[in-house]
Structure 1
Amino acid sequence: MLKIQIYGSGCDKCKQLAANVDAAAKKLGLEFELEKVTDINAITDAGIMMTPALGINGKVLCTGKLLSPDEAEKYRLFRKLSG
């Protein structure tokens, strides 16, 4: 099972990234758990300087960008995991 992390303060962009990634993962039929990481210490400990950020299984893949559902679906790790 994938563990998808959305890193951010809980702002609108962070919430939208979570919704977009959730939609993409469901569309691809992936089995996943979505975690929202809002603790600033956990965010900086992950090496993230710009939010929102996307991590999968503890690996940060994208920072400072709001991916659309289509962008998330096409994102390299999602493609690799879904097919």
Structure 2
Amino acid sequence: YFFEVCYKATVLPPTPKLEDLFPSCGIKNAIAVPVGKEVEARLLITDAKGNPIKNTSLGVYDLKTDNAGIVSFKARVVRTEC
């Protein structure tokens, strides 16, 4: 799942990244969430110049950055049968 926005999101530790688990897959800046597990993601949100976007609603779900430009949320992947 992905969406396109007018800002840059950088994955921050300790958020698990897909490229750390599978370095040769070529996917960058993606969160790794094992099926059936929940992870807490932390992202630094910046504008085109690299400045943190502070205390701002992102317009996705109810996510809002804090006073450092960081947004935190939980992600969970569940298996569904077709």
TM-score bucket of the superposed structures, by smaller chain: under 0.3
Normalized per residue, which structure has more helix? 1
Q: Considering only CA atoms, is the larger Rg found in Structure 1 or Structure 2?
A: 2
Give the TM-score taking structure 2 as reference length: 0.28
Q: Which has the higher contact order (CA 8 A, sep 6+)?
A: 1
TM-score by length of 1: 0.28
